[in-house]
Amino acid sequence: MHTRIFGHRGAPCARPENTLAGFAYALDAGVEGLELDVLMTRDGVPVVTHNPTLWKDTTRTADGAWLQTDGPAIFDLTLQELRAYDVGGIRPGTDYALKFPDQVTVPKAQVPTLRAVLELVKAHPRQIDLLVELKHMPGAENQPEAEVFVTAVLAELRRAGLMATSYIHAFNWAILHVARQIAPELRRSYLSFERRDTRKGTLYSGSPWLAGLDVDRGPLPQVLHQDGAAAWSPHWSDVTAQHQALCDDLDLELLVWTVNEADQIRHWLDQGVSGLITDDPDLALALRQGEIAKDAVFS
């Protein structure tokens, strides 16, 4: 089977991240999967947004003014309060604006509920794999209990009838362990980012993100396979040839993130990984279809 293309937070190269417009864009482009980030409001509603607090580079108040600083926290707002904010653009002049110069503004786009995103996916004629990332930090105070959070997300997946086509996806593997207890049938995708030199990461001996898994016990794919993982989702730079061979042997899916450059996309397509998570689904799909010549030059 060919490598599935997952739109990372939708298609932020073209539309605002984690918005209904962005997910609809990625679906229309032809992705097999979507990756989305989930947090919870104060009144217990799972919503789709990345940062634990509203981000000043992508958020405006109802009167159109950019936030001066980050905040408030998603978990401090009711759904109604959250929906007063506009997350349909990027503040000009920021690094994030430079990263996505072709992103089209979607005026008055709100943070969507998970339910609304699932309804969009369900209404789509193709079957779509969903990487539902639960944003939860080990030891953080201002967030729901893991059980409460996972239970609320599972209720939405069940309600939408999308359990069989979804993965629960998390850096905090305690979330995956809770999901394994409540819904063992739901596929679990273990996110990881190796800590190296000055790079902050989640993957190192004794890391609080690993829910007690001993990652020194053996090669990571083997450790995750023994833990019941359906998928391992590492940063692409953490993957070795030995990892890939083991994933193949163990039938552990390898879902690499976030792959945006043409040469990198080609590399991972050639490697035949199970899935490639990208901010630029148009480019990844075109490369996979061979619509862009091998020697094409990208500026």
What are the residues binding Mg ion (CB under 5 A)? 37, 133
Q: How far is the CB of 135 from Mg ion (least distance, A)?
A: 8
Q: How far is the CB of 10 from Mg ion (least distance, A)?
A: 11
Distance between CA atoms of 298 and 282, rounded to whole angstroms? 14
Query: For residues 137 and 143, is the Cβ–Cβ distance under 8 A?
Result: yes
Query: For residues 15 and 106, is the Cβ–Cβ distance under 8 A?
Result: yes
Query: For residues 253 and 190, is the Cβ–Cβ distance under 8 A?
Result: no
Q: How far is the CB of 139 from Mg ion (least distance, A)?
A: 20
Nearer to Mg ion, 37 or 129 (CB): 37
Nearer to Mg ion, 149 or 246 (CB): 149
Residue whose Cβ sits closest to Mg ion: 133
Question: In 3D, which of 77, 62, 7 has the Cα closest to residue 35?
Answer: 7
Distance between CA atoms of 41 and 59, rounded to whole angstroms? 17
Residues 6+ apart with CB under 8 A from 80: none
Give me 207's structure tokens: 């890391």
Nearer to Mg ion, 39 or 252 (CB): 39
Q: How far is the CB of 18 from Mg ion (least distance, A)?
A: 9
Q: Is 136 a catalytic residue?
A: no
Catalytic residue among 8, 169, 177, 243: 8
Nearer to Mg ion, 129 or 133 (CB): 133
Distance between CA atoms of 77 and 80, rounded to whole angstroms? 8
Sign of the CA dihedral with 38 first, then 50, 26, and 117 last: positive
Tell me the CA distances in angstroms from 8 to 1, 25, 163, 192, one per residue in order. Answer: 21, 12, 20, 16
Q: How far is the CB of 32 from Mg ion (least distance, A)?
A: 17
Nearer to Mg ion, 18 or 274 (CB): 18
Question: In 3D, which of 277, 239, 294, 292 has the Cα closest to residue 31?
Answer: 277
Q: How far is the CB of 202 from Mg ion (least distance, A)?
A: 13
Question: Do strands 33-40 and 46-48 pair parallel, antiparallel, or not at all (unpaired)?
Answer: antiparallel
Distance between CA atoms of 59 and 109, rounded to whole angstroms? 10
Beta bridge partners of 48: 38
Catalytic residue among 2, 50, 136, 243: 50
Query: For residues 75 and 39, is the Cβ–Cβ distance under 8 A?
Result: yes
Q: Is 225 a catalytic residue?
A: no
As annotated, the active-site residues are: 8, 50
